[in-house]
Each structure stands twice: as C-alpha cells, then as structure tokens.
Amino acid sequence: MKKLENYVQGKWISGDGNGQQLFNAVDGSPIALASTKGLDFAATLDYARRKGNAALRKMTFQERGRMLRALALHLLEKKEQFYKISFQTGATKIDSWIDIEGGIGNLFANASLRRKLPDETFTLDGEAIALSKQNSFMGHHILVPKEGVAIHINAYNFPIWGMLEKIAVNLLAGVPAVVKPATVTCYLTEAVVREIVASNILPDGALQLICGSAGDVLNHVTSQDVITFTGSASTGLQLKSHPVILSENTPFNLEADSLNCMVLGNDVNPGQPEWDIFIKEVKKEMTVKAGQKCTAVRRIFVPENKMEDVWKALVTELNKTVIGNPHNEKVRMGSLAGIDQRIEVKAQVQKLLATSELLFGSLESVEVVDADAVKGAFISPMLLMNTSPFTSEDPHNIEAFGPVSTIMPYKNIEDAIELSKKGKGSLCSSIITNDARTAKEYVLGAASHHGRILVLNNDCAKESTGHGSPLPLLTHGGPGRSGGGEEMGGLRGIKHYLQRTAIQGSPSMITAISNVYQQYAKGNSCAIHPFRKYFEELEIGDQIVTEKRLITSADIDAFADVSGDHFYAHLINTDFNGTMFEEQVAHGYFIMSAAAGLFVDSYKKNPVLLNYGIDELRFTKPMYAGSSLYIKFTCKEKTAQELKEINPDVPMIKGADIPKGIVKWLVEMFDETDELVGIATILTMVQMKNKN
C-alpha cells in the first residue's frame, strides 16, 4: 500500500508505523497510508524559520509576487494530474475546478498584489502623521515580515484551495508555511506539494507538508508564528486554548462551522428572474461539493406566504440532481469526503429532525449512477423545513456539513435580519432582492453578524461569483460561531503576517528608513533636472525648486475659456459677498497645470516616458490674480516594472515592453509668501538605462 510522505526539512520522509488508512470516497477502496509518527516537529518549525523565513524576508514584494506567479503558471500546467486524483475525494469536475483552479487563482491574485506594494522587503502602512508644529518630528507605520512560520491546519473539503489560498498570502508577506491538511484528503495536497517542490520555484524551507496527525507541533510555536485553523468549532476551541499559544500570544486565525443563510426578498415573486436565480443559487449551494463548503447555505429564509411555492420549486430542482460517480459526465453531485463524514452528517440531520420535517431526500437511501451507494460516501440532498424559527434553536445551531439546508418562514425584513443573526455569526449571507431599500436595510441590519453579504438580482446574477465563493481580494471569515477570523482580502490578508510598528523621528530619518520621501525631509538639490535622469539614476529625495510664475486675471479667464469651467468664483465680475472667496480665484486645476509648466523639463526628449496620473491632489489656499506660484518637486518613490508587462492602469499605451519603472513625485505648490497652496503626488513612467 502506498505510504504518503511528509515534506519536512528539505526532504520527503515517511512517518513510522502504518499510520492512518485513507480511502477512495467514491468506491471505498484503500488508496494510501498516512503517518507523521516520529517526525521532529520542533525541528520542522525551526527549519522554516531558519531557512524559509531567512530567504523570503530578503526578497522584495515584487520578487515574492513574481515567484507566486511562476508557481501559479507551473501548477496550471500540471492541473490535469490533480483533477485525476481529485475525483477520488468524491469531487465532480466542477467541485475540483473550485479546488484546483480556484486555488491557483489565489496565487495569481496575490501575485498581482505586488503592483500595490513597493520594491522593498517591507512596506509603509497608511498615512504619514504630523506630530509637531515645526514639522521636524513625525510618525508613520512600517510593516515588516514576522520572523516565524505560518502553520496552516486545514479542513478536508478543499485540499488544494485550502492550502493555496493561505500560502499565497504568507509567501507574499515573506513568511514560510507548514501545511497540515486534514488527513482524510491529504493525498491530494501531497500531490500538489510534490509538484511545488519539484519546480524549485520556492526557496528551501518556504513550504513544508505534514500528511497526518499534527503531533506536538503546537508545543513548539513562538510569538513570531501565525496559526490558521479551518475546521470544526470544537477542535478550533481546543487548539486555540493551547497553553503555548496562550503564553506566547501566537496569533490564531479561526475559521469554523458557519450556519450561513440566504434570504428571499419579499419583493420577489414567481415568474420574476430573481425567483429563478434564488432557486438555482440554493440548489447550487446544497449540491456543489455535496454541501461540504464552509460557506454553503444551511438556512433559507423565505416570506411566509411564499414558503410552499419555494419549497416545491426547490424539490423539483433537487429531484433533477444526478448523484454518483464523479467520472460520469452526467453526475452533478459526487460523494462526501468519506464514510466517517457521512456518519457525522446523518447524525447531525437526526438532531435537526427533532424540530424540523424532511421535505426532500432520505437519510436511508440515495440513488446513484455508476457507483455503489453504500461503499461510496454518497448521501442524498436533504431539504428540511422548520416553521417556528424564532423558537427553535436547532436550525441556527446544528451544522450538517453536507447537502443539507433548512427552509424557514419570515414575516418582514426586521424578522429576516433577526433570524440571520440567530446563527451567532456566519461567513456569508445572501439576499435576493430587486428593492434597494430592502437590500440596504438588510445589509446595515445584518452586517454585524456576517463576514460577507451578497446582494443578488438579475442585474448581476450572470457575472456574480455566487454566494459560496470566497474571493482572494475580499475578506473571508466571520464573527462569532464562524471563528472571529479573517483571511484573504487582498492587502488586508498579508498584514496578518507582518508586524506593524509605529516609527517616529524626523522626516529625513523616516525618508531614509522607508525609502519614501516624506514631506519636510531634506531634499537632494539636483544639478540636472531629475527628468533627465534614467530610472536607476534617480534617488529618493532628488529635488528641484522652480522659478516663480505670476498668476494673472488674464490667465484665469483664459483657463476658464480653454477648459469651459466658468464656475462663478473664477469670473472677475462675480459679487463675492457671501462666497468663500474675496475676488476672482484661480482654478485649482489651473494651478496644477501651471505647476506642471514649471516642473516639467520642456522640449527635449528625456527618459520620462509619460505621466499617468495624480494621487491625492489637494488645494490648500486660494490663489488670486497677482500672486506668484513656485514648486518644490521631489522624487518620492520608485518601483521597477517588469519587462513586457502591460500596466493594468494604462493598458492601451504602446511600447509596454520598454524597460521602465514607476516614479512618484511629490509636488508642493507655494505662493510668494511661501505658504502651501496645493499638494499632489504625480505618477510617471521612467525609462531604465539598462535594457535588462
């Protein structure tokens, strides 16, 4: 019998003894043994910190992002072999697509996040904070990679996605991972890790894999590590109360059972597109992955006068679901992950049936195609009904982690909100409505209890990613019962693996530390105009202070004519009584344009390829005719760009493969009294001298 190996300390190693027998979920045949007995977990974590962390934290966000992209492309090439194995978990092609390509999609999405991060090993967080009157003392926040390891303890339902959605984030942050998938489906995770290791894309120690029991791994965690757990609330509680985790204050991110709900808005009636959307979405949530999704809909809330119509429509749809061997193309629902999981689901349904009735499905039997319903971990979808949801606690408390949902009536939107909250915290809730007022009331009333809310109607249904899909750029996690955790969420996610430190000092010091020019720091006065420097030659703080330009009434009139902006404040004949101004005031955009006229190095071709935008433009003081404008123009931040990359912000420009980088410039606009009249950050693309 094949024995799975663990990937620890740079080697594939079998655990001692026979370990746990793993079975094919579809036909019950044994497929592998998994053991972690005899592994040195302390040494495994130490290896991650010494090797993986040391290597990753030296890489910049750009390098880590490119590494993730390379990994995503590599795994995409190998995907067919993962599909083959995935069938053994009971997953259909579509279920496997979520796991495999959804997981790889997380790598791509996190790889792309590098564009929002500097070409540094660390990043600044948020805004600079002024702390003194004379501007000699300031504060900021800096984020540096933690010096530990991410330990991911995962659930059995998504053996690939569960790993990739988590490691994408810690790797981008510069932190290595030890992944412990749930044992029952860890053979699929192992197959993917084998490909990752073989690719040599990640540095040594960046990823280790434990196939089987977690042993005493938690005895060896430190304050620099991060633990994420996805699984049942009871295991989660047990693990997060581990004395070492408590004494070390190790961050513990918990994603647990969730009684997610879907609400049918009172405005939706049979015959409307939203009615069909609702029925389709509930069916999908019940049957995709045989209901073994953390986000699957467990509670369905329907206006009381539409209960019968809804459940009859659902029964009709569920009846059409072909269940069986996922290799058969007609099959729409495969099996559960294993026989133990079926026993567990049935036991939970039994509990639910104490206060609910079964409208569809059976605890005893299920009709399957191309499979043995008993040997394989098959189960029938089950639709339950509970008609007194305010007094019955069971449907709000008991999670059957399979194709099981309970339909319940509500009277008005306030009731629907209250019922949604009776789940005591969920990962996701949806409302299907066309009525913006209903949607707003529901979202504002229920959001405190749900990590994500989908508002679905015909306008977005076609392109909607659906109730059940957590997305890499949106946070996944929920309050209360669902764990109180938060993962993914784009840049929010990586912050779980970075230490945020407030830094204080002079603007020049903060500039030197962060490599981002801070207002009031000393600049480097440039002998040549910085626009004549190539990307590599530019230094943060390179600065010019321009000549003064007189702003005249004729200028303001001309700008009004050219732009068509004849706002009363810019017209000389306006009666300024009761306005914010004393007299004809220059357009802010004219001041910005005049600023460009002063700071741009005109006429000669130079390494600046183009100007592609302005961030944070503010006008701080009105400029009247007769005043003069001058500019302090400083190189603020530089980020090299990869060759041949099309910038997503300006995909239409030609010559996207010129070696270049993004340079941000701080534009400070002053009048003749040296008072700030405006401030902006402009973005340019600057050519590199070296052709890469």
Q: Cα(416)–Cα(112) distance, rounded to whole angstroms?
A: 39
Residue with tokens 């206060």: 355
Q: Which of 13, 12, 32, 15 is nearest to 24 (CA)?
A: 32
Minimum CB separation of residue 493 from ligand NAP in Å reads 14
- Residue 52: CA count within 13 A, CB half-sphere: 32
Catalytic residue among 165, 190, 255, 285: 255
Q: Residue 322 gets which letter from DSSP?
A: -
Residue 624 main-chain phi, psi, to 5 deg: -100, 165
Task: Give residue number: closest CB to ligand NAP.
Answer: 231
Minimum CB separation of residue 621 from ligand NAP in Å reads 52
The b/e string for 316-349 (b: 16+ C-beta within 10 A; e otherwise) is ebbeeebbbbbeeeebbbbbbbbbebbebbbebb
Query: End-to-end alpha-carbon separation of the chain, Å?
Result: 51
Q: Is 635 a catalytic residue?
A: no
475 versus 647: smaller Cβ distance to ligand NAP: 475
Minimum CB separation of residue 429 from ligand NAP in Å reads 14
Q: How many CB atoms lie within 10 A of CB 616?
A: 10
Minimum CB separation of residue 257 from ligand NAP in Å reads 4
Alpha helices of 495-649 — where are they, by DSSP H? 507-514, 553-563, 588-599
**DSSP letters spanning 301-312:** EEEGGGHHHHHH
Q: Is 308 a catalytic residue?
A: no
Tokens of 258: 């969730």
Are the C-beta atoms of residues 645 and 656 closer than 8 Å to each other? Answer: yes
- Residue 93: CA count within 13 A, CB half-sphere: 7
Q: Cα(495)–Cα(479) distance, rounded to whole angstroms?
A: 19
Minimum CB separation of residue 148 from ligand NAP in Å reads 18
Tokens of 259: 């009684």
Minimum CB separation of residue 175 from ligand NAP in Å reads 20
Q: How many CB atoms lie within 10 A of CB 465?
A: 11
258 versus 584: smaller Cβ distance to ligand NAP: 258
The site for ligand NAP (CB under 6 A) is made up of 153-157, 180, 182-184, 213-214, 230-232, 235, 239, 255-258, 294, 399, 401, 427, 482-483
251 versus 483: smaller Cβ distance to ligand NAP: 483
Catalytic residue among 186, 294, 526, 635: 294
At 66, is the secondary structure helix, strand, or coil? helix
Q: Cα(338)–Cα(336) distance, rounded to whole angstroms?
A: 6
Q: Which of 18, 26, 19 is nearest to 88 (CA)?
A: 26
231 versus 588: smaller Cβ distance to ligand NAP: 231
Residue type, 356: S
Minimum CB separation of residue 295 from ligand NAP in Å reads 7
230 versus 584: smaller Cβ distance to ligand NAP: 230
* Residues with a known catalytic role: 255, 294
